[in-house]
Amino acid sequence: MPSLQDLAFLGISAFTLASAAGVAFSRKVLYSAFSLLGTFAGAAGLFVLLSSDFIAVTQVLIYVGGILVLIVFAVMLTNKIGDVKLSNQSVNYKVAVPFAAAIAILLISILTSGMWVQKDEAYTSMIVPIGNALLQDYLLPFEIVSIVLLGALVGAMVIVRREVK
């Protein structure tokens, strides 16, 4: 008898993988972008199942609210909407299909060969430990990453700005 958690895991991972397949195999780039929404939402669900509530919320805020909007903007700005048809051509899948399948089989067979020692944990909220870790052990990476973000922000604006004489 599968427990509720098992059912949730199966449902969420099937949803995630189905929309990831939609991203990979869709022939229209806009449909790929909307499938990506399902993948991000499914990944947020997996984070919740892994008791990382803070990461799940961050995932929804940044990926769905930020990156996906950026991607849809880029699609709209760069594709002539008239030829949305076949805007997402696939090339050389004769090489890519066997290669990706081989990588998947290799990864699965290595990762599930049963060498992990695992401690099963109940659900606990990770917000307080993450907050403490960010301001104690990981303070320097935290500050560096904010400088990286500032650099990316300014860099992105410099790249797309129009030259004004």
Partner 1 sequence: MVSLNSYLVVTAILFALGLYNVMTRKNAVGLLMGVELILNAASINFVAFSHFNGNHVGGNVFSLFLIVLAAAEAAVALAIVVSLYKQFGTINADEADSLKG
Q: Cα-Cα-Cα-Cα dihedral of 42, 46, 49, 51, to 10°?
A: -120
Tell me: does residue 5 bind partner 1 (CB under 8 A): yes
User: Binding partner 1 by CB under 8 A: which of 41, 64, 116, 165?
Assistant: 116
Tell me: does residue 87 bind partner 1 (CB under 8 A): yes
Which two three-digit tokens encode residue 87? 């805007």
Tell me: does residue 41 bind partner 1 (CB under 8 A): no
Nearer to partner 1, 92 or 164 (CB): 92
How many Cα atoms sit within 13 Å of 103 on the Cβ side?
5
User: Binding partner 1 by CB under 8 A: which of 1, 83, 85, 112?
Assistant: 112
Tell me: does residue 121 bind partner 1 (CB under 8 A): yes
- Torsions phi, psi for 101 (to 5 deg): -65, -40
